[in-house]
Structures are given as structure tokens and as C-alpha cells.
Amino acid sequence: MNDHKQLFIDLLPPLVYRRARIVRLVSSTVNRFIPLLGIFTFCLPLGLQANSEEAIPMAAQKVFAIGGQKITDTVLTGWIISLLIIVGIRFMLRGGPRLIPTRGQAILEGAISMLKSLTEPIVGKHMFKYVFPMLIGYFIFILVNNFSGLFPGVGSIAIMDGETPKFLIRPANSDLNTTLALALVSLFGWAYFTLRYAGPRAVFHEIFGNKADKNEIPRFIYMLLFLVFFAVGFIECLSILFRVVSLSFRLYGNAFGGETLLHHMIALSEGLQNYSVARWLGLMIPLPFYLMEFLVAIIQASVFTLLVSVYVGIISNEGEERESQVVTI
């Protein structure tokens, strides 16, 4: 025992010295890197710019056709991602759910619990069990498709069609058709769930009904407000239809903008490879933007899912809120 202690005491000074050298090396590297990064950041716009001719096209490109129906690069990516989601979830739950969860089952249960805690207070306990499969489907599909833009090869593998690059796979959410389809499904889902489980009367009252309390205002004004709220109901109908526009363009703009940003940052880093002094810096330029797009992917999936939850909960959760207020009183 004493021999081991003596050996440790003998080795301690070299270990401490080596650790101190590593710390000094890291500190000096950082101190030199920050001013150099500032110089290059200031000089980059002067002579190094990404080639605008290689910009990613806004419209999806045809890859092949099935029965006369063209299949675009974004549709192909959406099919691949959907297949991977299905196979991945089945693989994580292979053998069925267990009382003592496996690692894959624990991950899925954690995701479900997190999304449940976010959406159940919004849509209400009564509506939650019906609408939750749609909400978690939205979240997983949008999240994985947003992440797909960060995978190697997605948005970068292309074949030359003359002088124009023809991309083979691109993120599905970077196509307005995909986000528009998601928004339309959310609108039909909202109509189905609210009419089926809240009832046509609750939907009509929420849109055209008089929200005033007749016990707090004169009867004449209360009757007059019927006309006001009925007219406002038509504006509310327009806002419901406009949800399709806001949901689709928000998701599409962030996905396409992020894809374009990463494309130009990678092109910029490739331009720096021609300069020996900045070659190592070119490899680091896209990294902060990859981290930013990683966060944007999570935020956009959460925002889309929560907005659909709010649209459903505006009508379905109103009755539960009134009941809870009565119980509290």
C-alpha cells in the first residue's frame, strides 16, 4: 500500500506540469484565434463571396416519375424520412412495450411525456386523448425533416443537367408544397376534432356567438352585441383560413432560409481553402450555423405543434376552463 502511495507521489508533479502545459496551450490558442477570427470576419466581404450561380432553387426539382406523376427531390426525402421514422420507432419498441422499459422505449416515453406536459393544458384533458396522436406525429415528422437538412449529402448531392445542378435529395420542409400540405391537414384535423368532440354548437358560439355577460350590461346593448359578434365572426373565418398561410410560410421560410444559409457558408469555407493561411479557419465557419439550425429545427417543430394545439384548445378547452372556475369559486 505504501509503495503505491509513493509511486503516486512520484508521478504527481509530472502530471500537474503536463496539465499546466495543456492549459497554457489552450489559453494561448484561444487568445490568438479571437483576433485572427475578427480580422478574417472583417475581410471576408471584401473579396470572398459564395457563388450566386450555385444557389439552391426555390422550386423542387423532378428526380423521376411514377405513372406520369413526377417525384421531386423533396418528396423523395419526405418518403425516406417517413420510412426511417416508422422503422426506427418499430425497432425501438421491438418485442412490444415492457413494464421495465428498454432504452428505446424510455426515449419514446420521455418524448411523449414532454409533449404531453406541453399540450395537455392547452387542448384540455377531454380532447387530449383524441388529438395527441396528430400532435406528436406533427412534432416528430417536422423535427426529423428539419434535422435532415443537417445530414451529409442532403441538399448537396446533385447531378449536372447541362450547366444547372439537379439535386437528388433536399429537406422536405424546404418545399412549400410540403408545408402547405401539413397546414391543410392541420386545418381539416382542427375541423374534425372540434366538430366531433366539442360539437357544432360550441364551434358556432366561438366564432359567431355573443361572448358578453348579459348580467353585467344593459339588455339593449347585449342584444346589439349579437350583430357585432356575428359580423366579427366572418373576420374570424378569414383568420381561420389564414392559419394555413401562416403555418406553411413560417415553416417553409425557416427551412429554406436555413438550407440556403448553410449552402452559402459551406461555399464560403470552400473559397477559403485556396488560401493556405485561412484553410483551417474555413472548416470552422459553418459550425456555428449548424448549431443555430439545430436549435431552429427544434423551435419550429415545437411552434408548429403548439400552434395547432392552441387552435384546437381555443374551442375544446373553453368548457373545461369554465368548469374549473366554478369549482374554484
Query: So what's the pLDDT on residue 295?
Result: 92
Q: Give residues with Cβ within 8 angstroms of 273, minimum separation 6.
A: 279, 282
Query: So what's the pLDDT on residue 47?
Result: 32
Q: φ, ψ for residue 69 (rounded to 5)?
A: -95, 120
Looking at the DSSP bridge assignments, the partners of residue 269 are none
The CA dihedral of 79, 83, 85, 87, to the nearest 10 degrees, is 180
Range with the largest mean pLDDT of 62-71, 165-174, 225-234: 225-234
- Span 230-265, pLDDT tens digits: 888 899 999 999 999 999 999 999 998 888 888 888
What is the number of other CB atoms lying within 10 angstroms of the CB of residue 149? 25
Looking at the DSSP bridge assignments, the partners of residue 158 are 167
- Going by pLDDT thresholds of 50, 70 and 90, the confidence category of residue 77 is confident
- Is it the case that residue 99 has pLDDT exceeding 70? yes
Q: Where are the domains of the chain?
A: 51-328
Looking at the DSSP bridge assignments, the partners of residue 160 are 165
Distance CA 176, CA 186 (A): 15
Over range 266-288, report the average pLDDT. Answer: 69
Burial class (CB in 10 A: 0-12, 13-18, 19+), 245: exposed
All three cell numbers of 296, joined, read 431552429
